[in-house]
Structure 1
Amino acid sequence: MKQWFLLLFIIIVIWGCSLQEKDQLPKRLQKLKNLTVYSANEKPREVISFKKNTVYGDSKKVLIGSMGDIAVDSLGRVFIVDVQNQAIHVFQPDGQFIAQFGREGKGPSEFGFIKSLQIRKNRLYAFDSKQQKVSIFMLDTLAGDKTILLAQNRGKYQALQRAYPSIDKLYVRNNNTYVAEFILDSSPKKIKWQNFETKGLCYLLGNTGKIVSKKLIDLKKATRTLFAWPNSEALLGLHLKPFFGNALTVLSSDNSIYWAGPDYFLIKIYSPDGAYQDAFYYPHKKIPLTRESAIEAGIRDLYIRNMESMDLPRTWPVLTEMKIDDQDRLWIATTVEDMHVYEWWVLENTGELLAKFSWSRKEPIEEIKNGYMYTRETVEETGLQQIIRYRIEMN
């Protein structure tokens, strides 16, 4: 009889926990198809640690004016954008400087503004957002392969007639094609501190750079605010990312698209052609957005002074960053009560929790590859930035 009571007790506890988790799921998400809901008390399978390994940056041979995006190839070489000079610096895995290529200009291997670097197979792709082109370099020789003008046929697509005239982000796929993200806003009235929504319109580009498909995905991108600059009547639609967050997108090795918004720990998965497949969700505590927490988080004084005038959300973004490593594991940064750090979650691409760790907000994680994590850190004495490599250990 005692065994029956014990079994009944266990069933009630499990049933109660499942109800509690279901209650935590927002109503707007409960009708989402193929949704996996994980427990808020999910335990990591692994313990993760990091060991500082190598530093990349300024040296006697190279001076990087201002660091932009970075990329790491399969050999462990590190490519760093020099924003000031529109050049790309290359370092050996041990931190030794190898070469520099590229410069400001409009010709081959010249740039207006290098917004992102991506590596696919044996090529480096440098996206120039100012000139709307991608320059491709061979990794074995570092020589320029070709330059592709992007979305020159965008005028044929009606939805893009209301978009900004340029591609905001470019995602390189593993078959020499691209996903281009255009931005569409709601054309707000010119009212000081007014918020307005922007959408990301994603289209598939072929290997010649032309749009070759209908719209892949149409999702909320970010909230912008008509920010009033001090001593000026000019209003600028500014993305106050620390307060509102933004949509996060990564591509896996099979070109599947992973998307997350800032409001919930919800990851949606789309096929390479933009069809929704499934999603997973973790209940996650939301942290109240206050002036005190903004100060603790290191938000700019200009924003803090104007917080009372802004129409801000009640809570901080739940998710703030999402990366994908070379094993297709997701690395996701979440907001927690300690505003000096983010709590990072390492997940299988199906959502199972592998590990958790805390990392300083001041040291953003840029890349995870070849068993290493690469972060961007600032030397307090000089103000110069460095890329730091850490060996990842899981056990």
Structure 2
Amino acid sequence: MIRSTHLFTLLIVLLAAMFTSCSSGTMEIDIPEDVAELENVAVYSGDAAPLHDITFKRQARFGDSGDIYIGSMAGVAVTDDGTLFLADRTEAVIHIYSASGEYQSSIGGKGEGPGEFLSISSVRLYNGKLFALDTQQQRVSVFDAAGQSYLRSHTLSGGTQDLSGFPVAAEPLSDGRFFVLYNTMQREDEKFYRRYMPRIMDAEGNTLASEFIEFPRSEMLMLQSDNMIRITSLPFLGESHIGFNQNKEVVTGFSDRLLLHVISLDGDTLRSIYHSNSPPLLNRAEMLAKIEDETSRKEISAMDIPETRQAYETFYVDDENRIWVSITTEDIDVNDWWVLSESGEKLSEFSRTATDRVMFVNADHIYFMETDEDTGLQEIVKYIYSFDG
């Protein structure tokens, strides 16, 4: 039974959903019971037409050149003047490019000394400083973004005894306070699960708050050989995705359906967004054919594989709190991208190769990680975009 405090909000949402459905010529929205019970939830039809068309114009590319080789792209950060910092996870270095794509210099490098990395997981800009997370060393290194000089490091593991797993994301909340996301593994009988655990930490690595958000766990696949054990994710079983908006709020959802929540750093769910799109059917044979590793293919083929794929693969929150969501389609090689407003309306829609990833978006430009058809190498491609109509 729906609580009376929810009833007025729910009636408004239902009326809005029915209006959207009627105006777009589709059937009324079938709202799951748990979604209907949420407070402050905006419900939309997944079949609703977007409000605007979107156009893209390619402007620059960033990647390998005669001067550098990029092993594995971990993330990018872009300044207001268009300077781009590209983190290479395996080479443990951050490459710097001009707004037009010209290579300038690099910072970091392999090592355990000040300003050095064993690997780089992500890069963020805050108050004119570049924050780079080294998961293996469990620390954030800070550089002056303009002068590109090393400033200091912050440990993410030294001030408490209850830490488990490794940090996979570190969002600066101030110069010395971080929202840190830990990747933890749990085992139940013969199955392994991954769960993200949030913490707010200070400059010395002390935990100020922990586990104020409970993220759903994701089932993992364990592959065992004579001399190693490898645990890998299975996206078709669903997994948590997490972003951060400009209000210092967490945006999160589980990929089995397009239901996103905006949560404060106190752990309060401020609002939710639901789109009624149905995940595409999972073609078992097609999915297995794309797995190159024979051991993985054999183990996955023996599993109880679901009938549908995940509803979406990833999302990105831009600097205007719009949410760019990569929606899966019946064509495993193509994804539809939906651009949602902060309140959840579908602003625009476009299609791209499924391997493309949004790495950064601001008010005017979007940066995709793409694979060059001729060389097979990954590169960052910058586009200027605009909404029409």
Q: Which residue matches 1:360?
A: 353
Does 2:316 align with 1:323? Answer: yes
Q: Is the 8 A contact 2:42 2:343 kept in 1?
A: no
Does 2:263 align with 1:263? Answer: no
Match of 1:215 among 207, 211, 214: 211
Match of 2:279 among 273, 286, 293: 286
Match of 1:75 among 56, 78, 81: 81
In the alignment, residue 214 of structure 2 is paired with which amino acid? D
> Sequence identity of aligned pairs in percent?
25
Structure-2-length-normalised TM-score? 0.87
Distance 2:255 2:333 in 1: 19
Does 2:193 align with 1:197? Answer: yes
Distance 2:18 2:246 in 1: 37
Does 2:131 align with 1:125? Answer: yes
Structure-1-length-normalised TM-score? 0.85
Q: Is the 8 A contact 1:25 1:283 kept in 2?
A: yes
In the alignment, residue 309 of structure 1 is paired with which amino acid? A
Q: Report the aligned-residue RMSD.
A: 2.6
Q: Which residue matches 1:309?
A: 302
How many Å apart are 1:217 and its aligned residue?
Answer: 0.8
Q: Which residue matches 2:4?
A: none
Q: Which residue matches 2:35?
A: 29
Q: Which residue matches 1:240?
A: 234
In the alignment, residue 339 of structure 1 is paired with which amino acid? I
How many Å apart are 1:265 and its aligned residue?
Answer: 0.7
Distance 1:293 1:65 in 2: 28
Q: Is the 8 A contact 2:90 2:120 kept in 1?
A: no
Give every structure 1 segment of 4 or more consecutive aligned residues whose post-TM-superposition deviation is greater than 4 Å.
13-22, 232-235, 303-306
Of 328-337 and 179-188, deviating more is 179-188
Q: Which residue matches 2:150?
A: 144
Q: Which residue matches 1:168?
A: 168
How many Å apart are 1:135 and its aligned residue?
Answer: 0.5
Q: Is the 8 A contact 1:197 1:220 kept in 2?
A: no
Q: Which residue matches 1:49?
A: 55
Q: Is the 8 A contact 1:58 1:64 kept in 2?
A: yes
Q: Secondary structure at the match of 1:202?
A: strand
Distance 2:196 2:28 in 1: 31
Q: Which runs of 5 or more structure 1 residues have no equivalent in the other structure?
A: 1-10
Q: Which residue matches 1:183?
A: 183
In the alignment, residue 79 of structure 2 is paired with which amino acid? D
Q: Is the 8 A contact 1:91 1:99 kept in 2?
A: yes
Distance 2:71 2:215 in 1: 36
Q: Secondary structure at the match of 1:167?
A: strand
Q: Which residue matches 1:8?
A: none
In the alignment, residue 168 of structure 1 is paired with which amino acid? V
How many Å apart are 1:198 and its aligned residue?
Answer: 2.6
Q: Which has the larger radius of gyration?
A: 1
How many Å apart are 1:79 and its aligned residue?
Answer: 1.0
User: Do the aligned partners of residues 167 and 84 (structure 1) sit closer, same or farther apart at CA in structure 2, a change above 3 Å counting?
Assistant: closer
How many Å apart are 1:221 and its aligned residue?
Answer: 3.9
User: Do the aligned partners of residues 100 and 236 (structure 1) sit closer, same or farther apart at CA in structure 2, a change above 3 Å counting?
Assistant: closer
In the alignment, residue 204 of structure 1 is paired with which amino acid? I
Distance 1:280 1:197 in 2: 26
Deviation per CA, 1:174-199: give whole Å up to 9, x if none.
Answer: 5652111223443233x4xx4x4332
Of 220-229 and 116-125, deviating more is 220-229
Q: Is the 8 A contact 1:221 1:246 kept in 2?
A: yes
Q: Is the 8 A contact 2:201 2:208 kept in 1?
A: yes
Q: Which residue matches 1:387?
A: 380
How many Å apart are 1:387 and its aligned residue?
Answer: 1.1
Of 126-135 and 342-351, deviating more is 342-351
What aligned pairs does 1:364-383 form with structure 2 within 5 A after superposition? 364-383=357-376
Q: Which residue matches 1:3?
A: none
